[in-house]
Each structure stands twice: as structure tokens, then as C-alpha cells.
Amino acid sequence: MTMDTTTTTATAMTTTSLLAAPAPASTGTELIALLHLASPALPIGAFSYSQGLEAAIDAGLVHDAASAHGWIAAGLDVAARGEAVLLAQQYRHWASADTIALADCNDELLAMRESFEFRQETEQMGWSLARLLDELAWGPESARAILRSMRPLSLPTVYAYAMQSAGVTLPEGLQAWLFAWTENQVAAALKAVPLGQVAGQRILFGLRQDIAAAAARAAVTPVEDASTFAPMLGILSARHESQYSRLFRS
């Protein structure tokens, strides 16, 4: 399959004072900011993507609550050892205001998306979140200027900025990221399998420990070990592009 090889560009900026290296001083609103970022009401279009789940349903791999639970748990593992690891790295890069490292890691996040739909998803949601943060004046203008200079943007790059600039700790931010990912998968399963509301909540409830463990692993996994290797997921995503009937964009 072909991939867009467009690379991220960033304006030359100093790496010493865009954000203070220490975490921002506590304002007492860090939890509120975290809930805001993880909210399904965040207007970045997450509801329109299933991340391959719809194609798995079409292929008969997911057909009831048990198989949906298994699929989402496996997807959580892929997200935790891939994007979440680089999300953690971007959080550190924002803390040190290393613009070159930010651009390089953003390129790696884009390259990790092995299908057109997956690539489109992270770019669209990244752009939407960056635009929203600008509208809200979320964090320093100088740091938001870095976001505006990077095109295309991956969602984890923008999310990491929002976390760091709001004083959200990395462990809590990773848990929120992975919980939001899992919640979105459950919401997609409710519509597409379909499942009942209680069945969906049972899946989410049952994955609490998995989410916590996945976030803890992502926080300490070396960047060079980050991987999204999941051949079946990539194949299903590619097939979804020409799937006859679709509710979701991925």
C-alpha cells in the first residue's frame, strides 16, 4: 500500500524557554483539564472512527460482547506499546521545549499509522485539537505557535502539549488517553456489533486494570521499543477503505 511521505516541518525556534522545563505550577485545575481532554464531548471527531473495529465486525471476528472485549483488549495493548510510548516521549519533549525532537517524534507518530485511514485519523484529530486549543488559548502562545508550525500534526503530539501545559502528570495523562481510547472503542461496538449499554459498560469496567497496567508500561518503555506491529489490524484497516457499508471513517 502507498503511504504519504510528507514530513513535518517546524520553524526554527530556540529550545530553552518556550515552556519552562519544570511542570507548570499547580492551579488546582489539573484534574478538570484532564477530564476535559478525555471527555467524549471534545469536538475533535473521535466518535467517527472505529480504528479497525468495524472491519473486524464485517469479517466476523467480532460478533458479541465476548469477542468485542477480546478485540478491544488486544487493541489496547497495541495502543499502549506504540502511540502511548511516543505520547510519553512528546510530553517530555514539550517539558524541555526541544522543537527538533518534537518534530522528529511527530514524524515517527505519523509513520506508525500503517494505513491511509489510520493516518487520516491522527492528522484530522490532531489538527482539530490544535485548533481548539488555539481557540481556548490553552497554554503559552509561544508553545502553540510550535503546533501551528508543524504540519501535518499527529494527535498524540497535540495531546501531549495539552497535558504538559495544563500541569497534568504523565502517569495520569497516559491513563486518561488510554481510557478515552477504550471508551471510544466501546462506543463504536455499541453501534456496530451491536451491544447493549450494560454490555458496553461491563467491557469498560473489566478493562480498568488493563488500562492502568498499560499506562504504567507506556511510561517506562524505551522509545526504541515502541511498536504498532499488528498485521491483521493493518490489513483490516486497508480493507475498510473499500468496505461496502460503513458507519465509521476507520
What is the reported pLDDT for 246? 84
CATH number at residue 136: 1.10.4190.10
- Could you read off the pLDDT of 83-121 as tens digits, one per residue? 999 999 999 999 999 999 999 999 999 999 989 999 999
Residue 12 pLDDT more than 60? no
Is pLDDT of 20 > 50?
no
Task: Please give the tally of structural domains in the chain.
Answer: 1
**Residue with the larger pLDDT of the pair 13 and 50:** 50
Q: Which three cell numbers stand for residue 202?
A: 461491563
Q: For the chain, what percent of residues have pLDDT higher than 70?
A: 89
Task: Say if 105 falls within a structural domain.
Answer: yes
* C-alpha neighbours within 13 Å on the C-beta side of residue 6: 13
The DSSP annotation for 190-218 comes to: HHHTT--HHHHHHHHHHTHHHHHHHHHHH
- Domain limits for position 154: 78-240
Is 53 a domain residue? no
Q: Return the bridge partners of 9, or none.
A: 151
What local confidence, expressed as pLDDT, does residue 9 receive? 44
For residue 15, being part of any structural domain is answered with no
Predicted confidence at residue 66, as pLDDT, reads 98
Q: Dihedral of CA 223/69/116/131: which sign?
A: negative
Q: What is the mean pLDDT of residues 20-34?
A: 72
pLDDT reported for residue 233: 93
Q: Domain for residue 146, yes or no? A: yes
pLDDT value of residue 74: 97
- In DSSP notation, 71-135 reads HHHHHHHHHHHTHHHHHHHHHHHHHHT-HHHHHHHHHHHHHT--SHHHHHHHHHHHHHHHHHHHH
CA 39, 227, 107, 117 torsion-angle sign? negative
Single-letter amino acid code for the residue at 249: R
pLDDT attached to residue 22: 47
The amino acid that residue 77 corresponds to is D
Nearest-10 crossing angle of helices 83-96, 65-81:
40
Q: How far apart are CA 170 and CA 63, in angstroms?
A: 35
Residue 41 inside a domain? The answer is no
Within a domain: 44:
no
145: in domain? yes
How does pLDDT run across 178-230, given as a tens digit for each residue?
A: 999 999 999 999 999 999 999 999 999 999 999 999 999 999 999 999 999 99
Q: What is the pLDDT of residue 18?
A: 44
Question: Contact, 165 vs 142, CB < 8 A?
Answer: no
**pLDDT, tens digit (0-9, with 9 covering 90-100), for 118-173:** 999 999 999 999 999 999 999 999 999 999 999 999 999 999 999 999 999 999 99
Tally of CA atoms within 13 A in the half-sphere of 143 that contains its CB: 28
If you search the block for the grid coordinates 482539530, which residue do you land on?
A: 128
**Local confidence band at 6 (pLDDT 50, 70, 90 cut-offs):** very low
Query: Of residues 24 and 233, which shows the higher confidence score?
Result: 233
